[in-house]
Structure 1
Amino acid sequence: MQTAKYSNYTLPDFLEDDDFLRFVIRPSHNDTVFWQQVIAKYPQQKETIAEASKIITAYRKQDVFTNEDNQSKVWLRIESTLQKDQVKSKIFTLNRYLRIAAILLLVSSIGISLWLIKGRQNEIDTTFGELRTVTLPDGSTVVLNGNSKLAYSNNWDKNSREVWITGEALFNVKHINKDPRHVKTTERFIVHCTDVNIEVLGTTFNVRNRHDKTNVGLVSGKIRLDYINPVSKSESLVMKSGDYIEYAHKKLVARTKLAAPEKITKWVNHQLVFNNATLAQISETMADDYGYHTAFSDPALSALKIEGEINVPDVDELIETISTTLPVKITRTDKNITITKLNP
């Protein structure tokens, strides 16, 4: 994340920012440090950040509702909370706050508000470089990549089989439906990312949810992807084996067909696989999954590309491959990497 993008953020901007929502709801040490830096660098944003946090916190505490009566109670409780906190009306009226809260609630069908309000009893986190296999109550398995989080509820006998993911995971979903024409609530399997929902009966697929974008690759079976388009209308996309999509900034950025979909799952065996990747893309993966920080002496170096496929078992071999393929010098100290141009 870059602090500069928050310099001119308004209250609605903060309420719609996935990284800020995560910080308020489930702050990590890195999140706390980052937002302290934002406030220190842009002190004029301190009050707006505080107000946004109050609204999200108030909304987070509301009951999940299924009818208009309970919905009214939620709005009344938010209004009461805001009045007690003496939010200044000269910046935004109370009705404005309620509309913002309503917007947060209306998008619950695609993940963000479900992430805010859904009760979860089990949470599994992985550290940088750690792989962990989780067996869900129905026998489905999830392999978590490094620096990833999985959450799910135990009440699968009463509700849909639902999980929440940030980071990267490979899902192998157990098929329990006997009649495809009549799917019971408890037979549905739904994966919630911060921006999309994925519904499936039984299949194998890979999800990577980082940096305000979601990549989904379907290895086998069929899934349905629910998302919001630029004009805030809900849309669905049915994916078949080999389909690969990227969704970011409320739009479908790319949809392609993978020649060898099984390659996107190589990471479960600690394999680092890249295809025609730039140093920027490689360094991003190293940061996300393994906790490495890469600095470039010249920003232009980040655009250098390694043609063809890289398939290596660890970071050491990845660094060696970069050094022998591109005209760069790599200096490494623990998990800090500096890349400079190789002198002729």
Structure 2
Amino acid sequence: MEPPKELVFSYFAGQATSVQQKVIGEWLTQPGSRERYFQWLDEWERAYPQYTPDVPHHLELFQQRLDTPADVESQSVRPLLNRSNQRWYSGRWLVAATLTLTLLASGWFFREPMFYTTISTGSHQLRSLRLSDGSTVALNSRSSLRVPRIGYGWLSRQVALTGDAVFDVKHLPDNQPFVVQATNGLAIEVLGTEFSVRSSVSQAEVVLKRGRVNLHYATDDRPAQDLLMKPGDRVTLNGRGALQLQKLPDTTQFAQWRYRLFSFNNTTLREVANQIQYVFGVTVQLSDPILARRTLTGTIRAGSSDELADALAELLGLRVSHRGQNLIFSTASEPQLTQ
């Protein structure tokens, strides 16, 4: 059971009792609790700023110590010459501090887990989350969202997506933009809107339901491209690095995978198979090439690839065989395949 936010804030402030600490510790063992914990931690730290060291100043002092070792010895080491144990501990501390500062300066000291939190979904999992600025994200299966742990909402609002997601972005009084980094080189910048993004290694798709979105795509080997989207626009980034705009006649079926609804309008079975493969991460095979041209119109609610495949087989008068992560569609007249 999730504890009240006020209780967790008391824990951050060091005011929680031993019983309350135990409640929070048990909550953190539950799946999904850590993402909420770090969201609240970021919110609490922004509301109650803690001491922030002047890193450039201390790095400069450290460099001065390296450049003038004689001064360092006269100021720090000489008074301790008759205290050998303390000198040894001071030397060990100095080595540790040197290593830590070097790693911090180079950006390698726990950079990924320290500065970002990543929320991921499995093959058959959907997930909804609310970011600390009030924006909401719905993640499709086999997707991940990377969010900064520190500074999100006041330094910047920039996240990175791999997979499929729907964003409902909250507009802030200072008009701070919200940026989604999708496939390499593609950035989606908004002020307040609802849109979906599908991002893979080399291809991407953005569909805008409401609001306005500015797309910016730039790589080292291609000139920059900018495109302003309006509601109902669908933009794809193809394998050749070109942005292609298409106007959707109907947005009522916008990202229906959030509700496990699958809508088809004269859709071929091959296109349906591709959608099943993308959403659920399974392999779909058609035993006869003729089946690929069969079409389907309607809406099916299904929570798994097996449910959707069985419904499709019943509607189209086909047979489907379930073999682990493989679905095989065949005609009813073909011999029954071993399950």
Which residue of the partner structure matches residue 142 of structure 1? 137
Of 262, 272, 275, 2:262 maps to: 272
Point out which structure has higher relative CO (alpha carbons under 8 A, 6+ apart): 1
Note if contact 1:229-1:250 (Cα within 8 Å) is conserved in structure 2.
no
Contact 1:245 1:252 in 2 (8 A): no
Q: Does 1:260 align with 2:255?
A: no
Contact 1:243 1:258 in 2 (8 A): yes
Between stretches 138-147 and 245-254, larger displacement belongs to 245-254
SS at match of 2:179: strand
Going from structure 1 to structure 2, the CA distance change for 1:321 and 1:252 (only over 3 Å counts) comes to farther
Q: CA RMSD in A?
A: 2.9
State whether residues 183 and 200 of structure 2, in contact with CA within 8 Å, keep that contact through their aligned partners in structure 1. Answer: no
Select the residue among 111, 129, 144 that pairs with 2:124.
Answer: 129
Q: Please say if 1:171 is aligned against 2:167.
A: yes
Distance 1:206 1:302 in 2: 31
**Is 1:216 aligned to residue 216 of structure 2?**
no
Q: Which runs of 5 or more structure 1 residues have no equivalent in the other structure?
A: 1-115
Q: CA shift at 1:121, angstroms?
A: 1.3
Q: Which residue of 2 is the match for residue 188 of structure 1?
A: 177
Tell me by how many angstroms 1:268 deviates. 1.2
Count of matched residue positions in the alignment of Structure 1 and Structure 2: 221
Change (3 A) 1:283 1:212: farther
Partner of 1:162: 158
CA offsets, 1:127-149, max 9 Å, x none?
A: 11211112112111101111110
User: In 2, are the aligned partners of 1:167 and 1:209 still within 8 Å (CA)?
Assistant: yes
* Structure 2 gap segments, 5+ residues each: 1-110, 335-339
Q: Report the counterpart of residue 58 of structure 1 in structure 2.
A: none
TM-score, normalization by structure 1: 0.57
Tell me which of 128, 146, 150 is aligned to 1:151.
Answer: 146
Distance in 1 (alpha carbons) for counterparts of 2:250 and 2:273: 24
Normalised TM-score (structure 2): 0.58
CA shift for structure 1 position 197: 0.9
Contact 1:177/1:201 (8 A) holds in 2 = no
The verdict on how the C-alpha distance between 1:226 and 1:119 changes in structure 2, with shifts beyond 3 A counting, is farther
Q: Is this contact kept in 2: 1:220–1:241, CA < 8 A?
A: yes
**For residues 338 and 157 of structure 1, do their structure 2 counterparts lie closer, same or farther at Cα, with a shift above 3 Å needed?**
closer
1:316 deviation in Å?
4.6
Q: CA offsets, 1:15-54, max 9 Å, x none?
A: xxxxxxxxxxxxxxxxxxxxxxxxxxxxxxxxxxxxxxxx
SS in 2 for 1:261: coil
Q: Which amino acid aligns with 1:159?
A: L
1:286-326 CA-partner distances (Å, limit 9, x unpaired) = 2332232223334x256324243433334455324432444
Residues 276/229 of structure 1: CA separation in 2 closer, same or farther (3 Å cut): farther
Q: Highest CA radius of gyration, 1 or 2?
A: 2
Residue 8 (structure 2) aligns with: none
1:179-199 deviations in Å (ceiling 9; x for gaps): xxxx5xxx1210011141100
The residue correspondences of 1:57-76 to structure 2 (distance < 5 A) are none
Match of 1:285 among 260, 275, 280: 275
Question: Contact 1:228–1:250 (CA<8 Å) still a contact in 2?
Answer: no
